[in-house]
Amino acid sequence: MNAQKKKLVLIGNGMAGVRTIEHLLKLAPDKYEITIFGSEPHPNYNRIMLSSVLVGGADMKEIVINDWSWYQENNITLHTGDPVTKIDTDKKMVYSKNGHKVAYDEVIFATGSKAFILPLPGADKEGVIGFRDIADCEKMIDASKQYKKAVVIGGGLLGLEAARGLLHLGMDVNVVHINPYLMNLQLDEAASKMLQRELEAQGMKFLLQKSTVNIKGKKRATGLVFSDGTEVDADLVVMAVGIRPEVELARASGLTVNRGIVVDDFLRTDLPNVYAVGECAEHRGITYGLVAPLYDQGAVLAKLLAGANSDPYTGSVTSTKLKVSGVDVFSAGSFKETPTTRSLKLQDDLAGTYKKLVIENGKLVGAVLFGDTSEGSELFSLIKKGESIEGREKELLLGFSPSQGGGGSSPEARLKAMPDDEIICGCNGVSKATVADAILSKGCNSVSAIKSCTKASASCGGCKPLVEGLLSIYSDGSGEAVKEGICGCTSLDRDEIVAEIKRMKLTNINEVINVLEWKNSEGCSKCRPALNYYLGMLYPDEYIDEKESRITNERYHANIQKDGTFSVVPRIYGGVTSPSELKKIAEVAEKYEVPLVKFTGGQRLDLLGVKKEDLPKMWEDLDMPSGHAYGKTLRTVKTCVGNTFCRFGTQDAMGMGIKLEKAFERLNTPAKVKIAVSGCPRNCAEASIKDFGVIAIDGGWELHVGGNGGVKVRATDVIGVVKTEDEVMEWGHAFLQLYREEASWNERTAHWIERVGLDYVKQKLEKQEDRLALMERIKHTLSLTTDPWKEIVEKDELRKNFEPLKSTQPATL
């Protein structure tokens, strides 16, 4: 290290503190010798994305903001899993739990906050946790594997995100909230009730106006007792009732602490050379829990430490967006009605939209949007500017117009009129000017390039449409310049790649990469699997599947778990099994000492915790087809008992489901595909949220497409009604082949249909001759497939195929 450099210590490796360091490195890269202490065993990661980790939409690698190499490249000494335990502000020394002693010239407190655990009787029992970090996510995921019922205390933003994650993990979830409506700090009652209806449709249950007085159970929690004498059972209790600034160390160090560490407008504490930023800091009596204000603070502090001129930090107007539940909700400013405010409201229950504007002294001071949040950025801008909107109130309510100085009501016109200092990405504090500079000066000609350069759209993704709009405005106008390719290796999109493969008759992945001039001559983990699929789809007879370009799970026909063990799911057609089949599975599970056997949501058995060395012999002993629970292929066909047993059933749902599953098993598809067959309109098999759903009606079958029960729930569209099982098979074959031929890699049917439109799909399948042609192509492809395990056994490749597993590292969040 350079001896002339001043020593800077950052206490806390979270988003606010590290963002301050990022700014400082840009302003004065050689001024400080930097040491960072973090209490968690991870590099700097995006806490906003924890809910996505919980629901499986992201893993730890995807939410890391600065990986290990970033610290090394910037000569930062990082101590993870090593919280600071003492500071001597007289000697200017920092002491850590693991025995490190570091001198400082300047020290920043960025200790963040901790989940508030209600001081209830029983709060110390097993199964009672907060929701604040990766460790909490791991506990919730582990609990979902053993237990069924969860209760979340707190109906705010954090509580609903936790509840949606637990719901996705297969748990029965109740949300307990002391107020009469959800998200009462962010929404008014009308928007809250609309949100509640949407979440109830997803499966959440709500216990409102309930005050918890006790947590039941002996060693482990078994439920809650409320002040009105009622109770609810639960195996897992998650408290999401708020956060508390982490200030114990600061208080012990002699800093002035109220709710948070008291700072001035330049984030200075009352002790020299000591600063505080982020959730632990209290500025003008306010502590902030949203990321945008924390990044504003970091920018001011970085300029101060760099010796640059800076305007003081004077506080922030905040906005909130619900990101995980699949429901679009936005609020900003002060939206509560008072005697001095007026409000305008527009509610459409049919469309599921709601808009409320709150006006005081001729200025917009608050806004609530539900269902359609596209105008959130513009409204937030008006709130922050504090300019008069007199005479334009109804125009704002009905939508932005030319009278607002935007030169037109189109999104492009509004983006052009937006000030340069307007924040585009609230999660990462990226302004319009920063995005424009990335495009104009740094050659960023795709959303992914802008994301890498500025971090805009790298968090929740809500600002991606704005980034795309700016890309269109500031590029040279050519389509090539603004397109985002399938990955960073190429600017070509899916359709262009497929067209070029066909035009030039390219036959393998390396040929495609070389001829189409990939930036990375080896490709990457995103494009190689995509090319492998496109080539196989185009040339089913000639193309030899490239196993090494498949994801790990597909190569080994099992799901790798976070502890390095595997999950094995044999196929059980239509969820219908037999005593002998169950006995065989049980015997194999006992033989290989499988620690957990679980029924899946797709009516199959999942053998969890299988050792990697046991996988080959286990599949041999099972002698059953793989359920492909790991692949981009047909996963499951869920059925009810239909008219075989049920008095309400009108058709043979089990028979139809088995027929569909046997027809489409082993079919490679752009993304995973799920099918369900319900024997009557009561829809017990949940066919209305599957990729292809079949619901029996009197005298026929109703065909549904494009459903999704994942993070963003999408109900199916009805594509037609048919009379016979043969017609169901015809339409099923045709629909799946059309999807195979036209969807992008990793694009679910729900997203594909939203992109191309239901009318387009109906038009493509309208004529029987077209359906039969598609059916012939998919049948030909299927005729070339065999169960991968049969193939491996016959070729004596069982052991050889698993050699790479010897070096496999345990999967981690």
Helix axes 189-202, 157-168, angle to 10 degrees: 10
- For residue 321, give the DSSP letter: E
Contact 274, 255 (CB under 8 A): yes
Note whether 158 and 175 are within 8 A (CB).
Answer: no
Q: φ and ψ at 605, to 5 degrees?
A: -110, 130
Cα separation of 369 and 389, whole Å? 18
In the block, tokens 């960023």 appear at 444
Measured distance CA(345)–CA(756) in Å, rounded: 33
* Neighbouring C-alpha atoms within 13 Å toward the C-beta of 405: 8
Q: Which two tokens stand for residue 656?
A: 């139809």
Q: Under a CB-based contact definition with an 8 Å cutoff, are residues 378 and 414 in contact? A: yes
DSSP string of 653-664, one letter each residue = HHHHHHHHHHHH
Length of the chain: 813
The H-assigned helical ranges of 147-208 are 157-168, 189-202
> Is there a binding annotation on residue 453?
no
684 is in an annotated binding site: yes
Task: Give the burial string for 745-765 (b: 16+ CB within 10 Å, else e).
Answer: bbbbbbbbbeeeeeeebeebb
Question: Tokens 């020593």 correspond to what residue?
Answer: 7
For strands 128-130 and 236-239, give the pairing: parallel
Is 685:661 a contact under the CB 8 Å cutoff? no
Q: How far apart are CA 787 and CA 810, in angstroms?
A: 27
425 is in an annotated binding site: no
Task: Report CA-CA distances (Å) from 575 to 24, 498, 582, 645, 657.
Answer: 58, 36, 12, 15, 9
Q: Is the CB of residue 694 less than 8 Å from the CB of residue 722?
A: no
Which residues lie across from 348 on neighbouring strands?
353
Query: 3-state class of 73 per DSSP?
Result: helix
In 10 A of CB 4, how many CB atoms?
8
With contact defined as beta carbons under 8 Å apart, do 93 and 101 qualify?
yes
Rg of the chain over CA atoms, in angstroms?
A: 28
Do residues 435 and 456 make contact, with C-beta atoms less than 8 angstroms apart? Answer: yes
- On whether the CB atoms of residues 203 and 110 are closer than 8 A, the answer is no
Tell the residue number behind the tokens 């262009």, with chain if given.
496
- Between β-strands 605-610 and 700-705, what pairing exists: parallel, antiparallel or unpaired? unpaired
Backbone angles phi, psi at 167, to 5 degrees: -60, -45
Helix and strand numbers (H, E) in the chain are: 29, 36
Cβ of 386: how many Cβ atoms within 10 Å? 11
Residues 432 and 529: their CA atoms lie apart, in Å, by 35
DSSP calls for 427-491: TTTEEHHHHHHHHHTS---SHHHHHHHH-TTSSS-TTHHHHHHHHHHHS-S-HHHH---SBTTBS
| Amino acid letter, 626 | S
Q: Which residues are annotated as a binding site for [4Fe-4S] cluster?
A: 640, 646, 680, 684
Q: Which residues are annotated as a binding site for siroheme?
A: 684
Q: Which residues are annotated as a binding site?
A: 640, 646, 680, 684
